[in-house]
């Protein structure tokens, strides 16, 4: 499974502009990716509506935080690599608790617990505290009902789908290549993983292999706001500029 970290507000440089995608919009792209997946893969889920909800809402804790870009002291849009660890974990917990579907919350919780366990910037005490609080949230949501086993093949499959769609969406939003071995395989059962790969063959055209997509040709649209990169040196102006900017859409084509 991948250890690559998302951006808080996903950024992409384009000429003299910086294009910014909020985390919750990135989650919508994640769901778009899922909906384009092979029916033979999607049909393996026993909780497809819950899985779709988890994919769409796994970053809903960021909605308020992403109302405008936050800048570091050296005028870079904040990323998980340069933000304070306690705030990162607080927003992950908010994403878990904001879900109104207990099973979806369980998927989101295990997704973030995995990312926390793999983080190289979190100390052991912070990781253990985050896992404890995540588990408490899940226990409260199920309210005495039996919590589904996270060790079942079906749960592992659905969790791997969430992780897969999350990372692919990040790559598409940034239009930045990753090494092939960073893409998480999709868990089928203890003996089988579904392997796939993707490659940018032209600007905004991405080719998938391994029967990942149901249709030969697909497209999705990435919502973003564009600001002049020079404004990153003027933190007082960037908030108003971002809020006043018009939402644009960049079309990305996905092909087999």
**How does pLDDT run across 132-180, given as a tens digit for each residue?**
999 999 999 999 899 999 999 999 999 999 999 999 999 999 888 887 7
How does pLDDT run across 2-49, given as a tens digit for each residue? 333 444 567 777 667 888 898 999 999 999 999 999 999 999 999 999
Contact 206, 199 (CB under 8 A): yes
In sequence order, what are the residues at sequence separation of 6 or more whose Cβ sits closer than 8 angstroms to the Cβ of residue 186? 41, 157, 160, 161, 164, 193, 194, 196
Q: Domains of the chain: which residue ranges?
A: 10-255
DSSP SS3 for 172: helix
The pLDDT value given to residue 15: 67
In sequence order, what are the residues at sequence separation of 6 or more whose Cβ sits closer than 8 angstroms to the Cβ of residue 30? 55, 56, 58, 165, 166, 168, 169
What is the spatial distance between Cα 199 and Cα 137, in angstroms, rounded to a whole number?
38
The closest of 256, 248, 167, 252 to 204, measured between CA atoms, is 252
The pLDDT value given to residue 78: 62
Residues linked to residue 223 through DSSP beta bridges, in sequence order: 249
pTM, rounded to two decimals: 0.90
Helix (H) or strand (E) holding 168: helix 153-174
């Amino acid at each position: 499974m991948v250890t690559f970290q998302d951006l808080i507000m996903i950024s992409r440089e384009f000429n003299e502009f910086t294009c910014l995608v909020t985390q919750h919009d990135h989650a919508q792209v994640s769901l778009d990716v899922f909906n384009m997946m092979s029916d033979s893969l999607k049909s393996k889920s026993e909780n497809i509506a819950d899985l779709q909800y988890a994919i769409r809402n796994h970053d809903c804790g960021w909605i308020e935080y992403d109302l405008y870009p936050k800048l570091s002291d050296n005028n870079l849009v904040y990323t998980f690599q340069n933000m304070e660890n306690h705030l990162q974990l607080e927003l992950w917990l908010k994403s878990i608790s904001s879900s109104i579907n207990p099973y979806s919350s369980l998927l989101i919780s295990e997704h973030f617990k995995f990312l926390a366990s793999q983080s190289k910037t979190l100390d052991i005490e912070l990781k253990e505290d985050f896992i404890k609080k995540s588990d408490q949230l899940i226990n409260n949501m199920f309210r005495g009902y039996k919590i589904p086993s996270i060790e079942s093949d079906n749960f592992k499959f659905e969790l791997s789908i969430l992780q897969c769609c999350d990372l692919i969406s990040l790559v598409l939003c940034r239009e930045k290549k990753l090494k092939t071995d960073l893409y998480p395989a999709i868990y089928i059962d203890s003996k089988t993983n579904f392997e796939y790969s993707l490659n940018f063959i032209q600007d905004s055209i991405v080719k998938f292999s391994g029967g990942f997509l149901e249709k030969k040709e697909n497209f999705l649209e990435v919502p973003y706001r564009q600001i002049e990169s020079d404004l990153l040196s003027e933190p007082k102006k960037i908030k108003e500029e971002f809020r006043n900017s018009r939402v644009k859409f960049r079309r990305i084509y996905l092909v087999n």
